[in-house]
């Protein structure tokens, strides 16, 4: 490769290069720039925050059955709250919570036990409310943590009248809500740039390794940057960038779709929390529709029982009519990332039908579907769905990624952890749970099976 000598950066100071300016990369730039004593470059072929980080539903929660994830999220929420406090909440962090609903009375005992277990692991107190409870407050979303379990339809509908009469229990997780991921990301990027981080709009094409450590990176614009520390924060391209370092990262990409829709009839309360349907369900199709779906092998599965997890939240202020809807009723795995991702024309109708089980008022839109706006992105995830944060088996190389469906909420604590690794600061107790070396640990590998599938919502 012929190098353009004028564009080679002098290596007088240590130099750090972050590949990827999604939420992972900009958070890393922010946390590292506070203490890093050398040059720091953030490289992305796209505008910052324009790939996966632009597609999320921007929600957060500290409610995780995996203790390591719970600790990471509690820390991340602490950091987001502190940033919100310092900036007059420029990124609109709210505390509306997540409301998980079920119709299955025989599952309520199990729900209580699981909720108690998560509460005891550090998510906060579990409070159980039965009819006539005066202690539960749905709004104005006091700064409570833990969760409130509402038992009985009357109590649920007293606070959330738009929920189906069939719901028998609702778990309101309180240290949860949503935010503007773009505004959080831009805040972190601006602060990083104020601390001296330089952004390069170019594709990273090569990482040069000399004597077993990273030395230089090559960019598509011909520029070469000396590099003592390299951070792979390439989101869905983490595996490809890993290959440049001769490291095979254990990752898969899974497409997840989402849609926004106008709700002019205000079926969903504008003050609602994130509403999540916890039951699996079989959709109600007419005979004619069943026949059409049955005739196509791609759509037959829509007639069988579909998984739990349809969810929806209001988007925008009180004056807005928009709602965001998601439901991963079928896996969408791809061996190769395609961008923009392939969409699915049946998604709006299937999701609306699924959500109408929880919110019967939505059925009115099935007669004439309001024009939906559909998009999606990839959950890049490890086999057990914990992120990868830490050192790679090549001197000077690190990774921050595999943020799956939780990258916005986890970004701050993940980047803080990465910075502690790079700057050799004391590590928090959960560091080993996210370090790439965990796949060399036989105890972890035998435990990994139990962790699979956590936290896809």
Ligand X SMILES: Cc1cc2nc3c(=O)[nH]c(=O)nc-3n(C[C@H](O)[C@H](O)[C@H](O)COP(=O)(O)OP(=O)(O)OC[C@H]3O[C@@H](n4cnc5c(N)ncnc54)[C@H](O)[C@@H]3O)c2cc1C
Closest CB to ligand X among residues 101, 181: 181
Choices 39-47, 209-217, 245-253, 284-292; region in contact with ligand X by CB under 6 A: 39-47
Task: Tell whether residue 204 is a contact of ligand X (CB under 6 A).
Answer: yes
Q: Does 51 bind ligand X (CB under 6 A)?
A: yes
Measured from the CB atom, the residue of 146 and 376 that comes closer to ligand X is: 376
Q: Does 57 bind ligand X (CB under 6 A)?
A: yes
Closest CA to 397 of 209, 204, 196, 192: 209
Question: Which tokens sit at 118?
Answer: 């998560």
Render the burial of 164-192: b for 16+ CB within 10 Å, e for the rest. beebbbbbbbbbbbbbbbbbbbbbbbebb
Does position 21 bind ligand X by CB under 6 A?
yes
Using a 10 angstrom Cβ sphere, with 0-12 exposed, 13-18 middle and 19 or more buried, the burial of residue 442 is exposed
Residue 414 binds to ligand X (criterion: CB under 6 A): no
For residues 255-284, which are near ligand X according to CB under 6 A? Answer: 256, 258
Strand partners, 226: 216
For 265, the token pair is: 């009839």
Radius of gyration, CA atoms only, the chain: 23
Q: Omega of the bond prior to 3 within 30 degrees of 0, cis? A: no
Total of chain residues touching ligand X, rule CB under 6 A: 40
Shortest distance, CB of residue 294 to ligand X, whole angstroms?
29
User: Among 403, 417, 419, 435, which residue interacts with ligand X (rule: CB under 6 A)?
Assistant: 403
**CB of residue 82 vs ligand X: minimum separation in angstroms?**
18
Q: Which of 45, 145, 223, 315 binds ligand X (CB under 6 A)?
A: 45
Are 250 and 402 in contact, with CB atoms under 8 Å apart?
no
Which CB sits closer to ligand X, 55 or 127? 55
389 part of the interface to ligand X, by CB under 6 A: no
- Judged by CB under 6 A, the residue of 405, 415, 420, 436 near ligand X is 405
Nearer to ligand X, 21 or 312 (CB): 21
How far separated are the first and last CA of the chain, in Å rounded?
45
Among 56, 74, 253, 278, binds ligand X (CB under 6 A): 56
* Residues 227-256 within binding reach of ligand X (CB under 6 A): 233-237, 241, 256
The 10 Å CB-count burial string (b at 16+, else e) for 205-234 is eebebeeeebbbbbbeeebbbbbbbbbbbb
70 binds ligand X (CB under 6 A): no
Closer to ligand X at the Cβ: 129 or 258?
A: 258
When asked if residue 385 is in the footprint of ligand X (CB under 6 A), the reply is: no
With contact defined as beta carbons under 8 Å apart, do 173 and 275 qualify? no
301-306 LR contacts (CB < 8 Å, sep 24+): 301/330, 302/329, 302/346, 302/350, 305/280, 305/281, 306/280, 306/281, 306/282, 306/330, 306/354
Contact segment (CB under 6 A) with ligand X among 53-61, 166-174, 245-253, 354-362 equals 53-61
Choose the binding region for ligand X from 136-144, 308-316, 396-404, 420-428 (rule: CB under 6 A): 396-404
Distance in angstroms (rounded) separating the CA atoms of residues 60 and 165: 28
Residues forming contacts to ligand X in the complex (CB under 6 A) are 19-25, 43-46, 51-53, 55-60, 203-204, 233-237, 241, 256, 258, 376-377, 401, 403-409
């Amino acid at each position: 490769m012929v190098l353009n000598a004028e564009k080679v950066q002098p290596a007088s100071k240590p130099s750090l290069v972050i590949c990827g300016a999604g939420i992972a990369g900009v958070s890393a730039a922010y946390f590292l720039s506070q203490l890093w004593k050398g040059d720091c470059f953030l490289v992305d072929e796209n505008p910052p925050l324009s790939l996966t980080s632009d597609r999320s539903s921007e929600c957060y929660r500290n409610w995780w059955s995996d203790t390591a994830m719970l600790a990471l999220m509690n820390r991340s929420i602490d950091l987001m709250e502190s940033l919100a406090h310092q900036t007059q909440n420029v990124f609109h962090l709210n505390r509306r919570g997540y409301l998980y609903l079920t119709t299955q009375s025989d599952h309520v005992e199990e729900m209580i036990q699981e909720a108690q277990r998560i509460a005891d692991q550090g998510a906060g107190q579990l409070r159980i409310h039965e009819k006539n409870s005066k202690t539960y407050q749905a709004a104005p979303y006091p700064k409570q943590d833990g969760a409130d379990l509402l038992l009985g339809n009357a109590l649920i509908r007293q606070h959330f009248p738009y929920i189906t009469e069939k719901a028998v229990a609702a778990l309101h997780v309180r240290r949860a809500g949503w935010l503007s991921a773009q505004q959080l990301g831009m805040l972190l990027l601006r602060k990083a740039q104020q601390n001296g981080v330089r952004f390069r709009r170019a594709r990273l094409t090569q990482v040069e390794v000399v004597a077993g450590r990273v030395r230089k990176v090559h960019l598509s614009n011909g520029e070469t940057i000396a590099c003592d520390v390299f951070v792979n924060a390439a989101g869905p391209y983490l595996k490809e960038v890993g290959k440049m370092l001769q490291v095979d990262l254990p990752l898969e990409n899974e497409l997840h779709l989402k849609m926004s829709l106008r709700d002019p009839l205000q079926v969903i309360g504008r003050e609602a929390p994130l509403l999540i349907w916890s039951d699996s369900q079989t959709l109600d199709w007419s005979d004619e529709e069943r026949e059409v779906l049955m005739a196509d092998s791609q759509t037959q599965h829509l007639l069988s029982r579909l998984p739990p997890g349809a969810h929806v939240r209001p988007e925008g202020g009180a004056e807005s009519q928009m709602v965001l809807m998601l439901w991963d009723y079928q896996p969408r795995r791809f061996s190769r990332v395609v961008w923009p991702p392939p969409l699915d024309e049946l998604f709006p109708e299937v999701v609306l039908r699924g959500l109408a089980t929880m919110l019967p008022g939505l059925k009115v839109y099935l007669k004439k579907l309001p024009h939906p706006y559909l998009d999606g992105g990839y959950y890049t995830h490890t086999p057990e769905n914990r992120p990868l944060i830490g050192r790679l088996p090549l001197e000077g190389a690190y990774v921050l990624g595999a943020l799956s469906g939780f990258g916005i909420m986890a970004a701050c604590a993940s980047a803080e952890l990465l910075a502690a690794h790079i700057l050799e600061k004391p590590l928090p107790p959960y560091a080993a749970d996210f370090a790439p070396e965990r796949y060399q640990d036989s105890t972890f590998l035998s435990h990994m099976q139990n962790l699979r599938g956590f936290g896809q919502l």
